[in-house]
Structure formats: structure tokens, C-alpha cells
Amino acid sequence: MQADAFLSLTRLGVRQESWHLVVVPNAFLTGHRVEIVSLAARYRLPAIYPFRFFAESGGLLSYGNDLLDNYRRAAIYANRILKGAKPSVSLSET
């Protein structure tokens, strides 16, 4: 899908009085986040995005977990388990 297709879909939504945009997390939409954010801003559509980097690209609001923090925590848990801690105990600790 190219920028023209995004523009067509956005115009269609505005004409049909669609008054918001919810972007779901997937690789395709993440790859085109700049276009999506700019079109939402151009047509003044309130939008919610799945990841922080959408908001950092100019989006209104993101609501989701921090992916980098998830990877960091996974490494901490893996380290504990490799050092001999029980997985059930490791995952319940903060």
C-alpha cells in the first residue's frame, strides 16, 4: 500500500464522518507510521497508536507497553534462570 492509498482511505473515512483512528500493532502499519501519523494530523482525526514511537513521530497518543523495557526484563529473567533460580519464582519477582 502506498501513500496514495493511505490518503484515499483517510479521505473516505473523513467523508463518512469517521471521527477517530485506532492503529493496531502490526509490522506493515509500523513501517508506514510516518504517513499514518501525518494523514491523521492533516485530517484532524484523533488517533491512538500501539507504540511510543508513533507518538514520537507526531501522533496524538500511544497506549501500550514499552518494547525495549520488555527485552530488558526478559534478559534479567533469563540471567536469573541461567544462574539457577526457579522460573516460577523469577517471574513473580519485580
List, for residues 44-80, the tens digit of each pLDDT value.
Answer: 888 899 988 888 888 888 888 888 888 998 898 889 8
Who's near 36: CB < 8 A, 6+ residues apart?
Answer: 6, 21, 23, 29, 47, 54
Residue 57 sits in the same domain as residue 78:
no
- Please tell me the predicted confidence (pLDDT) of residue 53: 86
The reported pLDDT for the residue numbered 72 is: 92
Please tell me whether residues 3 and 47 are part of one structural domain.
yes
Mean pLDDT of the chain: 80
State the cell numbers at 78. Answer: 533469563
pLDDT reading at 5 higher than 60: yes
Encoded amino acid at 81, one letter? I
Tally of domains in the chain: 2
Per mean pLDDT, which range of 16-30, 47-61, 74-88 is the poorest?
16-30
Residue 6's pLDDT is what?
A: 62
Gap between the Cα atoms of 7 and 40, Å rounded: 10
For residues 52 and 89, membership in a common domain is answered with no
